[in-house]
Structure 1
Amino acid sequence: MKITVVGSHLCPDTLYALCELRKKNVEIDFKNLSASLDGLKEYLSLREGLEIYKDIRANHGIGIPCFVLEDGRKTLDLDEVLAK
């Protein structure tokens, strides 16, 4: 299984998720928003159009880490990803 993790190396939740996924030997494609303004712009554009970010936008949050599954589905729930 390969998971794309969108987050930041400055975010403790992202670092925790990366560690947990590595423990499960999940292949990870990490998109570090802190390292790329183009990546950050792309993420913010994506975030504005997804229902899973409704509450996060309302609370002025960022919404990371975000997980993109192999089938293209996006989730913010690490437990859901680890259960696969």
Structure 2
Amino acid sequence: MEAIKFYGAEICKDCRAAHPLLQEKGIGVEYIDITASTANLRAFLALRDQEPAFDKVKAEGRIGSPAFVFPDGSVTLGVEWLQGESGCRNC
């Protein structure tokens, strides 16, 4: 399976929690730290601006990380899908 894009930041507790869950499940990711560079932040903001999955978090004034983009282009926010509660269509 192609790697999942994982947009996050080390200052985010949910992002930090996602790393061991991904490793435990053997899921390959391309981690993109949105605080590491302007290019990473721009890529995240472009995704956030166009993807309806972010509508609720934007309305609540939140950032929307962690965000996961699956190989089929679907996007999910949060770590619930890693805990078996929803989400990953290809894992």
For the aligned pair, the TM-score class normalised by the smaller chain equals: 0.7 to 0.9
Structure 1 ranges of 4+ moved more than 4 A? none
Bigger mean CA deviation after superposition, 61-70 or 45-54: 45-54
SS of the counterpart of 1:70? coil
Q: Who is 2:71 aligned against?
A: 70
Q: Who is 2:84 aligned against?
A: none
Q: Who is 2:88 aligned against?
A: 81
Deviation (angstroms), 1:82? 8.9
* TM-score in terms of structure 1 length: 0.87
Q: Who is 1:41 aligned against?
A: 42
CA RMSD of aligned residues (A): 1.8
CA 1:75 to 1:53, structure 2 compared with 1: closer, same or farther past 3 Å?
same
Q: How many residues align?
A: 84
Residue-by-residue CA offset, 1:33-81 (whole Å, 9 max, x unaligned): 1101111022112211111111111111100000011222111153123
> Is 1:26 aligned with 2:27?
yes
* TM-score in terms of structure 2 length: 0.81
CA 1:35 to 1:7, structure 2 compared with 1: closer, same or farther past 3 Å?
same
Distance in 1, Cα, partners of 2:31 & 2:49 = 21
Query: Please, which runs of 5 or more residues in structure 2 have no aligned partner?
Result: 82-86
Identity percentage of aligned residues: 29
CA 1:53 to 1:45, structure 2 compared with 1: closer, same or farther past 3 Å?
same
Q: Who is 1:50 aligned against?
A: 51
SS of the counterpart of 1:22? helix
Residue-by-residue CA offset, 1:4-61 (whole Å, 9 max, x unaligned): 1100011110111111011111111100011011110221122111111111111111
